[in-house]
Structure 1
Amino acid sequence: MRALLCALAVCVVTAASGAAPAQVLDFEELDGWREDDHSEALAVFRQTCDLLKGPEWAPLCQLAGDMAGRPEAAREFFELFFRPVQVGDPPALFTGYYEPELEGSPVRTSRFNWPIYARPPELQDGTVWRSRMEIDGGILSGRGLEIAWLDDPVEVFFLHVQGSGRIRMPDGRVLRVGFAGKNGHPYVSVGKEMVRRGLLRLEEASARTIRDWVQRNPIEGRALLGLNPSYVFFRKLPQLASDKGPIGAMGRSITTLRSIAVDPLFTPLGAPVWVEKDGGRPLRRLFVAQDTGGAIKGTQRADIFYGTGARAGEIAGEVKDGGRMMVLLPIDRAFAMLPEH
C-alpha cells in the first residue's frame, strides 16, 4: 500500500514488449478454478474496476455491475470475457501482509516515545530524500509531523513494511493510518542480511523471528533495522470505517484474502489474478491486484493480504511459498500480449 496507481496502458505495454514471456491459458488449466467463490471475487473486482483505463475495460465494468445479485453468473462472466495469461515463468514467490493493530499515544510519553511521521512537505515523488538512519536520528523532530507515538521501534519498522495500521490510543479511540509516501530509497531486506550474517537460518527467517531477535538484542537490532534505508510516511484516515480494509494503491479499501499487492510493471492494477499458492496453507482462488509494495518486484510475485490483527500477522509473516499466478485480461488484450511470429 504504498505507491501511486500507474497507468494501465503503460503497465500492459511494458509486459507485452518482450520484457517477460507471456502464455495464454484455458480456464480448464487452472487448478481449482471451478471450486472458487467467483461471486465474491467479482464483488471485489467491481470495487475498483471503474479505475481501469482503456476502452476494453469500461463495458466489462458495466457488465460486472449487471451481474450483482447473480452469483451463479459470476464464473461465466470471467470465462466469457477474459483469458488467463501467465506472465513470466514459475515458480512464483508469494508472501503475505496484514494491517497491524498497535497500542499508541497522540503525544510522547515515557512509554510511547517512538514516532510515526506525516509526509514532510518538501518531499517530492520520485526523488531520493533522507535515509532511515537520518530520520531515526531526529532530523524531523520538533516540526509537528508526528502523527502518533508507539512503544517499540520494531513495531514502527514493521508498520512501515505493512504500510497501514490501526493504533489504539489510551482513551480507547482507534486511529487508522495509511501510506502517504516514502523517502525514495530502495527497500533492503533485513531478514536476508540476518541470514547472511548467520543470525538466522534461511528457513527460520520470518517477521516473527526477526521481531523477536531485534527485541532481544535492542542495540544490534536497531542497527540492523537501519540497514533498510527505505522509510514510509503516513496519513490519518478518519473517514475509513472500522469494517473496511486498509487503503491500497488504487485509493480504495482492500479485502482479506481477495486483494494482492503486485508489481504494476507486469500485472495491471485492478485486474483479476488467479493464484495457485503452495506451501503450508495452499490457496487456489481468484484475487484482484489492488495494491503494490516496495519489495514486490517481478512477474511471478505477489503479496497476499491476510486481514487485520495479530492472528493475521502471524499467518502473513510465515508465508514464503511457491506456485504460479495468472492475470485475467480481456480477450483481445490477452492475445495481444503474445509475441508476433
Structure 2
Amino acid sequence: MQKKKWIVLTLDVSLKDPKKINIQELKKTYKINESLQKLDEDLIGLSSVKKRIQEITAILFMDKVRQDFGLSKYYPGLHMSFTGSPGTGKSTVASRMAELLQNLGYLTRGHLIVASRDDLVAQFVGQTAPKTKDVLEKSMGGVLLIDEAYYLYKPNNEKDYGGEAIEMLLQVMENKRTDLVLIFAGYSEPMKMFYRSNPGLSSRVAHHIDFPDYSREELSIIAKKLFQERQYELSFYAEEVFLKYLDLRCQLPLFANARSIKNIVNRACFRLASRVMGETGIFTYKSLIHITPYDLILSTLFLKGLKTIPMTKIGFNITNMDTKIIFQVLEYEKLNYINISGNLMRAPKVFPTFVWKNFS
C-alpha cells in the first residue's frame, strides 16, 4: 500500500503596520480648531447652532481622513438652510463655513457672497438669467447666501420671473456642487412654505439649521462687548437703564437681535459725544469713555415711560409708593441761599432724576 505524502507549504507573509495618522496634526493642517474658535468668539450663545456646525465639520474632516487611508470618497451634501430672526448670526456663520470648507479643500476660494431677490430676479423678460448668472459666477469657489429666499417664489404672480432664477439655482446646486455651496436664509415659517412649494430645492438642501433669538442676558453681553471694542464702558446705573431699554425694544416690531443692539450702542456713543461737546471745554479720559444714563435715557422709547420728580437730602417727595428708582442723580441745580428768620441758609439741594413707573 502506497503511503500518501503530504506537502505543507508555508507562506512567509510579512504584514506591514497599518497606516497611522495623527488627528491633532491633521486638524492643524486643515485649521479646524482655529476656524471653530473664531466662530465661538464671533458669536455669543447659539450653542445649538455651534453644535450643528461642529457635527458638519466632523463628517467633512472624517471624509478627508478616509481618503488618506485609501477609502472611497464620499461627497456629503453641503447646501444649507438657515432659519431665524434677523441679527441672529446667520451671515457670520455662513462666512465661517466658507472658511472651513476652503481649509478642508471643498471650496477653492472660500469667500461669501450675500444676495437677495433684487440681485437675482429682473422685472422684464430675458433679464433674470443674466442677473442670476452674474451672481453665480461671482460666487463660484465660495458660499452664496440668499437672504429672505422665499421672496424668490411668487406663485400668484404670472408675470414674476423668480421661478426662472430658482431653476438656474437648481441646476448649479446639482452640477457645480463641488465648488459652490448655497445657503438659503429667512424667517422659519415662510421658509417652510418655500420648501414645500419647491420639492426639488428642498431635496438638495442637506442641512437645516435654526437660529434662536438671543436671550436678555446674551443681548446684554453683546452690548458690553461692542462697547468694549469701541473702548467705551457703561456706568453702574447706565447698565440698569440699558436692561430696561432692552425690555422695551424687544417688544417693538422689527427688532433685529444683535443688529438692533449694534444700533443702540452706536446711538449711545453719538449722544455721549454730543453731551460732552456741549457740557465742557476740557476733555478727560473718563468723559471720553463713560456712558451715563443720560446717553440712553434720551431715546424716544423712554418718553412715555419716565417722569421727573424732585429729590432732596431729606428724601423723596413720592406719593405713589409703587414707583421705584432705576438710577440716581443725573444733574443738580446750583446751590441757592435763602433767608430764614434773618439767617442766610443754604436751600435744600434738589436733584431732578428719572424713575420708572411700576418698575419691577
| Higher relative helix content | 2
Higher relative contact order (CA 8 A, sep 6+): 1
Q: Please, what TM-score do these two structures have when normalized by structure 1?
A: 0.21
| Higher relative strand content | 1
